[in-house]
Amino acid sequence: MRKIILNLAVSLDGFIEGPNGETDWCLTDQDYGMEAFFASTDAIFMGRKSYDMIDGLPSPFAGKQIYVFTDSPFLIQDHDIKVVPSKNFLKDVQAIREEPGENIWLFGGAALLSSFINHKLISDFVISVHPVILGGGKPLFHEIREKLDLLLLGTETFSSGLVQLKYVIKPKFDFSILDQQLSSLN
């Protein structure tokens, strides 16, 4: 099954966009591991607002299958872009994950991110904390329904002050299995 990996930038105070939707604070002076990450993916999930933000720009996603999650009707001319309506959200995501392929990059959309977290669909979290305090904007996490424990896999610090954090969902240990094994020893 293909992994869905959240990889995004966040300010030190926890925002993914500034107060006016700006992302010009994101550092672009180095690769920050993006080339290798990008090579490990062949599909990208994004919300409609994220798609609208990049539409018309030179595409950094050439050759990748893009899935836009929205209920708003709109016409897409590009065969590399597919619309996923929210009414089939879970079924469609599961079907896409079962297709052969590489990892899937959860690119963005705060609402989409919340839905994926609430349905426990994200395998890995790669959070690049940029050395900037925005003071307001769109928060990284909102409307999360329950606590999600993460296991830190590693950190990387760059000369710019950016710190990249890599997490997976912390596995839950089933103590009943241990109890059964201990009981069989007696």
- pLDDT, residue 106, reads 96
CA distance 148 to 169: 7
CB–CB of 108/47 below 8 Å? yes
- pLDDT, residue 173, reads 72
Write down the domain spans for the chain: 4-185
- pLDDT, residue 17, reads 93
pTM of the model: 0.86
Q: Which two tokens stand for residue 137?
A: 């904007």
- pLDDT, residue 167, reads 97
Domain formed by 4-185, architecture: 3-Layer(aba) Sandwich (3.40)
- pLDDT, residue 144, reads 92
Q: List, as one string, the DSSP characters of the chain.
A: ---EEEEEEEETTSEEE-TTS--TTS--SS-TTHHHHHHTEEEEEEEHHHHHHHTTSPPTTTTSEEEEE-SS------TTEEEE-GGGHHHHHHHHHHSSSSEEEEEE-HHHHHHHHHTT---EEEEEEES---SSSEES--S--S---EEEEEEEE-TTS-EEEEEEEPPPP-HHHHHHHHHHH-
CB atoms within 10 A of CB 22: 11
CB–CB of 114/141 below 8 Å? yes
Mean pLDDT by 10 residues, the chain (186 residues): 96 95 93 94 91 69 88 72 86 96 92 92 97 96 91 97 96 69 67
- pLDDT, residue 138, reads 93
CB–CB of 66/80 below 8 Å? yes
- pLDDT, residue 29, reads 95
At residue 166, what is the residue type?
K
